[in-house]
Amino acid sequence: MLLIVTDAHLLPGNPASDDFLEMLSAVSSGGHDILFLGDVMELWMAISRYEDELHARFIEWARKENRNRRIFFIEGNHEYFVASKYKDAFTGASEDSLRLGRSFFTHGQYIQEAPWGINRLTQRFFKSWFTRLVLWVIPGGETIIRKVKGALGSNGKYPHPVVPEARIESWAGRLLEGDTSVDHLFLGHFHAARTLPLPDGRTCHVLPPWKEAGEVTLLDLDTNQIVAAGPWRQVLGKSVIRNL
């Protein structure tokens, strides 16, 4: 089974972060693989001077548990340079997307933008090697980071939790055209759960966010079926019973 966690938007010292770490401990006691589908942290610049204790604890957990289960990580629009800097901590890590079996996973931040929308341009610029170098060397970088955080807030063209179904369908059509190796698409980002049947008979799943109620999704990769979705204690509790 694959446990999928998306859109936690964690901050150090927040009670939600303590709950998230408790969930990681519960995962350590079970047998599931896990995929972090973006925006795990509220803002994560994977540059030493900008990282905090919460980032370090998460990476420490991933490095340890990567010996016991598969751990995957896909960057969202609130994470930068994580996939490249901490590649060794994960079974698979990507700035954009991953394929596992016949399933395709991506955070989804670019779907709501036109090809050259402001969010897309902002993301491409701030995820570039040039920006990484500048942030590494210039003084006062913390001020820049605060501005980035403000620019990448949740109040975009499609305020959460609106799910732009027509745009998702158009994006999926372009992605899957001529590709018969994928049956299901999985997205985060929109802070709402939807199952969208696509015109060609395949399915796009927009997954619930962890942030609001600690929700996760449990997927059977062998059958491409969602086994459970909801608050993590309920999902992991049910999965433990199911495995006995």
* Distances, alpha carbon 129 to alpha carbons 84, 126, 213, 240, in Å: 11, 8, 36, 43
pLDDT band (50, 70, 90) for residue 158: very low
The residue-averaged pLDDT of 233-238 equals 88
Assign residue 195 the CATH number of its domain. 3.60.21.10
CB 211 within 8 A of CB 7: yes
Two tokens, residue 234: 């309920």
Question: What average pLDDT does the segment 207-230 reach?
Answer: 94
User: What is the mean pLDDT of the segment spanning 200-210?
Assistant: 96
- pLDDT higher than 50, residue 156: no
For residue 7, which of 109, 99, 124, 151 has the smallest C-alpha distance? 109
The pLDDT value recorded for residue 238 is 63
Do 72 and 92 meet the contact criterion of CB atoms below 8 Å apart?
A: yes
- Dmax over CA atoms of the chain, in Å, equals 55
Domain holding 180, by residue range, is 2-243
- Indicate the number of domains in the chain: 1
How many Cα atoms are found within 13 Å in the side-chain-facing hemisphere of 66?
A: 17
For the segment 220-227, the average pLDDT, to the nearest whole number, is 91
Contact 8, 188 (CB under 8 A): no
Quote the CA–CA distance of 46 and 57 in Å, as a whole number.
13
pLDDT tens column, 54-112: 999 999 999 999 999 999 999 998 898 999 999 999 999 999 999 999 999 999 988 86
* pLDDT at position 142: 65
Whole-number pLDDT of residue 134 = 66
Number of neighbouring beta carbons within 10 Å of residue 9: 20
Q: Of the segments 38-42, 129-133, 148-152, 153-157, which one has the largest average pLDDT value?
A: 38-42
Task: Give the separation between CA 89 and CA 133, rounded to whole angstroms.
Answer: 23
Question: According to the model, what pLDDT value does residue 84 have?
Answer: 93
Percentage of the chain lying above the pLDDT 90 cut: 64
Segment 6-35, tens digit of pLDDT:
999 998 888 999 999 999 999 999 999 999
pLDDT, mean of residues 129-138? 67
Average of per-residue pLDDT values in the chain: 86
State pTM to two decimals.
0.86
* Strand-pair category, 103-106 with 97-100: antiparallel
Question: Which one has a higher pLDDT value, 241 or 229?
Answer: 229
